[in-house]
């Protein structure tokens, strides 16, 4: 996640949440588009209806006021005024305000209802007048000064004019559209969640099974269900797992047979060596046979990896401490830092002893001494082994785990190593669901971290 651009860091990582987010966004955008479309159409229709109503009302009031005596006009105008209408008698305007083409068409309609003598008088129609541009006495009492107003100025007689102002009411919030959008989002998100769950559940099972296989375990067959794409992936995975398992079993059987076949001639050669009279030749041949037998045993151990022994619960701290004590009794320069609490793990104890022993012997052989300790880590324990040797270049820290790889520039070739020790250690660690990592110490030497998962203490 930290490698994503800043604008994508908050993007959800799971398929379910992503599908819900995309579906909800699509619903929101579609509803906004539809609402915008209908709102514009409704606004145009309301605008036309409003203009007709204002024009009819102004014409009716104008006709009424022209038909009554001038002294009665204030009473009638006050009676006809309301919170959105205000009729006021004003003197002749000094000038006519500029008007749009639509407003000029409305002026023509107003002139049609006036007497011939009044048709030459200036008439003003403003459809989108700001209330702030109108005198307060010509505005409805308590009207909203932030809305728009429609203003019509027409002649009443030769000296006075009628100012008819209609202030538009604020538009109501489209509650129905909001409610419909929320309901649509909830329904679509629920459908997306159900669909994503149908896809994600088999994918999660496939991921768990692949993780088990990657760590050297035997995963049960994945249930072949879900959409065709997911089901086909499960079928292919099951076939691959079955084939890999058969291949590994065949490899183990083959190596086991080869191991037995190699042990027989090695034993016969050891017996025949007893009849060699030349002591120097006999010693050289004996050393060659010992090296051949050691190589054979290590090849078989590396090939078996995590096979044979059954897992059981042990205290990792006690297991490693006993191994270090045995090496110390043999005079090896090994130190142990006591772990104050039990470290329960489920493992094959003999394999763990073999792996830790290989690491400690490597540290002694190539780094003068070995300091061993166990640290608690997230979800497990770390067996840490440090030495005082030359360390390993960063480019070679993964290559040393490959079979028969030895670093001539940093490792002593006179020790008789086969290049299979770290290969075996990695196979054992990964076979237990753990890992192994190498790093150089700042003060010199190599630090090896072998991580194993913990179990609940009994």
C-alpha 348/C-alpha 430 separation (Å) is 12
pLDDT tens for each residue of 155-179: 888 788 888 888 877 666 567 767 7
Q: Is residue 191 part of a domain?
A: no
Compute how many other C-beta atoms are within 10 angstroms of the C-beta atom of residue 296.
Answer: 17
Confidence of residue 2 (pLDDT cuts 50, 70, 90): very low
For residue 237, pLDDT over 60 is answered with yes
Q: pLDDT per residue over 278-325, tens digit each?
A: 888 888 888 888 777 776 766 666 555 545 567 889 999 999 999 999
Per-residue pLDDT at 383: 93
Residue 446 pLDDT > 80: yes
User: What are 243-265's pLDDT values in tens digits?
Assistant: 877 776 776 677 667 766 777 78
Q: How confident is the model at residue 211 (pLDDT cuts 50, 70, 90)?
A: confident
Residues 331 and 442 in one domain: yes
Q: Is residue 23 part of a domain?
A: no
Q: Which residues pair with 335 in a beta bridge?
A: 371
| In a shared domain, residues 313 and 253 | no
Q: What SS3 state is found at 232?
A: helix
Domain annotation covers residue 355? yes
Do 398 and 313 have their domain in common? yes
Q: Give Cβ neighbours of residue 455 (< 8 Å, ≥ 6 apart).
A: 313, 344, 345, 346
Residue 95 is predicted with a pLDDT of 76
Q: Could you tell me if 160 and 274 lie in one domain?
A: no
Residues 11, 4: Cα–Cα separation, whole Å: 10
Neighbours of 242 (CB within 10 A): 11
16 close to 196: Cβ distance less than 8 angstroms? yes
| 387 is a domain residue | yes
What CATH number is given to the structural domain containing 256? 1.10.287.130
Q: How many domains does the chain have?
A: 3
Average pLDDT over residues 214-234: 73
| 3 state DSSP class of 136 | helix
Check residue 120 and give its pLDDT: 74
Domain that holds residue 409: 309-453
Residue given tokens 């096979």 in the structure block: 307
Q: Which of 60-69, 195-204, 320-329, 443-452 has the lowest mean pLDDT?
A: 195-204
Closest CA to 370 of 356, 353, 355, 349: 356
Dihedral pair phi/psi, residue 171, rounded to 5°: -70, 140
| 302, 328, 354 - which closes a domain | 302
Residue 142 half-sphere exposure toward CB, CA atoms < 13 A: 3
Q: What is the CATH number of the domain that holds 382?
A: 3.30.565.10
Specify whether 444 is located in the same domain as 337.
yes
Sequence-distant (6+) residues with CB within 8 A of 215 are 430, 431, 432, 433
Same domain, 297 and 396: no
pTM of the model: 0.45
Asked whether residue 288 falls in the same domain as residue 354, the answer is no
Q: Which one is predicted more confidently, 21 or 216?
A: 21
* Domain end (from 302, 320, 342): 302
Please state, in angstroms and as integers, the Cα–Cα distance from residue 430 to each residue in 60, 73, 142, 352, 372, following that order: 94, 101, 81, 11, 20
CA 385, 387, 392, 396 dihedral sign is negative
Same domain, 368 and 432: yes
Q: What DSSP line would sit under 298-351, residue for residue?
A: HHHHHHHSS-SSPPEEEEHHHHHHHHHHHHHHTT--EEEPPPSS--EEEE-HHH
pLDDT in tens, 319-328: 999 999 989 8
Same domain, yes or no, for 291 and 318?
no
Same domain, 436 and 331: yes
pLDDT of the residue at 13: 63
With respect to residue 248, please indicate whether it lies within any of the assigned structural domains. Answer: yes
Is 4 inside any structural domain?
no
With respect to residue 279, please indicate whether it lies within any of the assigned structural domains: yes
Shared domain for 368 and 270, answered yes or no, is no
Q: Supply the mean pLDDT for the chain.
A: 78
Residues 448 and 314 occupy one common structural domain: yes
Q: Given 281, 302, 323, which residue is the final one in a domain?
A: 302
Q: Which residue has the higher pLDDT, 112 or 46?
A: 112
């Amino acid at each position: 996640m930290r490698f994503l651009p800043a604008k994508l860091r908050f993007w959800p990582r799971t398929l379910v949440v992503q599908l819900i987010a995309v579906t909800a966004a699509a619903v929101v955008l579609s509803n906004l588009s539809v609402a915008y479309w209908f709102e514009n159409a409704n606004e145009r229709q309301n605008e036309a209806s409003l203009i007709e109503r204002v024009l009819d009302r102004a014409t009716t009031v104008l006709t009424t006021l022209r038909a009554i005596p001038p002294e009665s006009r204030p009473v009638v105008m006050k009676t006809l005024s309301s919170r959105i209408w205000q009729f006021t008698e004003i003197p002749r305007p000094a000038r006519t305000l500029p008007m749009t083409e639509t407003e000029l068409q409305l002026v023509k309609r107003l002139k049609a209802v006036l007497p011939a003598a009044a048709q030459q008088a200036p008439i003003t129609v403003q459809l989108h007048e700001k209330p702030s541009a109108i005198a307060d006495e010509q505005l409805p009492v308590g009207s909203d000064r932030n809305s728009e107003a429609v203003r019509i100025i027409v002649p009443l007689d030769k000296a006075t004019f009628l100012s008819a102002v209609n202030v538009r009411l604020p538009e109501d919030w489209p509650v129905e559209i909001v409610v419909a959008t929320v309901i649509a989002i909830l329904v679509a998100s629920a459908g997306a969640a159900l669909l994503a769950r149908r896809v994600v559940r088999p994918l999660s099972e496939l991921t768990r099974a692949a993780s088990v296989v990657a760590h050297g375990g035997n995963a049960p067959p994945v249930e072949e269900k879900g959409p065709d794409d997911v089901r086909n992936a499960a079928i292919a995975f099951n076939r691959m797992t079955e084939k890999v398992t058969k291949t590994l079993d065949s490899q183990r059987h083959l190596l086991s047979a080869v191991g037995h076949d190699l042990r027989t001639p090695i034993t016969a050669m050891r017996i025949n060596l007893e009849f060699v009279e030349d002591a120097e030749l006999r010693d050289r041949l004996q050393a060659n046979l010992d090296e051949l037998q050691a190589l054979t045993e290590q090849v078989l151990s590396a090939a078996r990896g995590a096979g044979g022994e059954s897992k059981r619960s042990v205290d990792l701290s006690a297991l490693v401490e006993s191994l270090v004590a045995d090496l110390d009794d043999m005079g090896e320069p090994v130190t142990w830092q006591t772990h104050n609490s039990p470290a329960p793990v489920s493992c094959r104890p003999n394999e763990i002893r073999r792996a830790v022993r290989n690491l400690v012997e490597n540290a002694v052989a190539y780094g003068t001494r070995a300091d061993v300790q166990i640290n608690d880590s997230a979800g497990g324990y770390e067996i840490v082994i440090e030495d005082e040797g030359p360390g390993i270049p960063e480019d070679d820290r993964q290559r040393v785990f490959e079979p028969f790889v030895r670093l001539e520039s940093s490792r002593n070739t006179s020790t008789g190593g086969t290049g299979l020790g770290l290969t075996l250690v990695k196979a054992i660690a990964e076979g237990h669901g753990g890992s192994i990592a190498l790093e150089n110490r700042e003060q010199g030497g190599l630090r090896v971290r072998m991580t194993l998962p913990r179990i609940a203490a009994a």
